């Protein structure tokens, strides 16, 4: 059936560009064990970043350029390929990882593992996304 669809309908332009960006800029960061561990630790310390609070004199916490490159890639993950989301079961107590199907109206599959903070859940999602990406591009 796909052979009847055009490149535009199959979104080939975006897919090819995204694949090039992944292979050229993202994978070298993640395949280097030392860099990958550095990025994981940086993300663990500040999973969601923090906005500046000028009235309190606190600067914005930004992720490094390298971590931002990886995060941008991970956030572009198509909905139909194991897209992870944070699900709050109970405020400030129980956060879970959900997996969306990519089909409107279908429920999110909620994993059993519970996290005590949104940040811990976000970091766990980051780790899952990194592993999935490395597996998808394993050569």
What domain range is 8 assigned to? 2-136
pLDDT computed for residue 118 by the predictor: 94
How many domains does the chain divide into?
Answer: 1
Tens of pLDDT along 65-86? 999 999 999 998 888 788 999 9
Scored b (16 or more CB within 10 A) or e, 91-124 reads: eeeebbbbebeeeeeeeeeeeeeebeeebebbbb
pLDDT computed for residue 2 by the predictor: 54
22, 124, 36: which is closest to 76 by C-alpha?
22
pLDDT computed for residue 79 by the predictor: 80
Tens of pLDDT along 22-64? 999 999 999 999 999 999 999 999 998 766 566 666 667 789 9
């Amino acid at each position: 059936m796909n052979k009847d669809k055009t490149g535009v309908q199959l979104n080939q332009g975006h897919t090819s560009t995204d694949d090039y960006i992944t292979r050229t800029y993202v994978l070298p960061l993640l395949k280097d064990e030392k860099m990958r561990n550095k990025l994981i630790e940086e993300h663990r310390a500040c999973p969601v970043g923090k906005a500046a609070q000028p009235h309190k004199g606190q600067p914005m916490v930004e992720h490094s350029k390298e971590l931002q490159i990886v995060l941008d890639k991970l956030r572009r993950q198509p909905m139909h390929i194991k897209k992870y989301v944070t699900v709050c079961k109970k405020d400030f107590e129980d956060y879970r990882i959900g997996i969306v199907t990519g089909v409107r109206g279908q429920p999110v599959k909620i994993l059993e593992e519970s996290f005590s903070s949104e940040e811990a859940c976000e970091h766990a999602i980051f780790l899952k996304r990194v592993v999935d990406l490395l597996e998808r591009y394993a050569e």
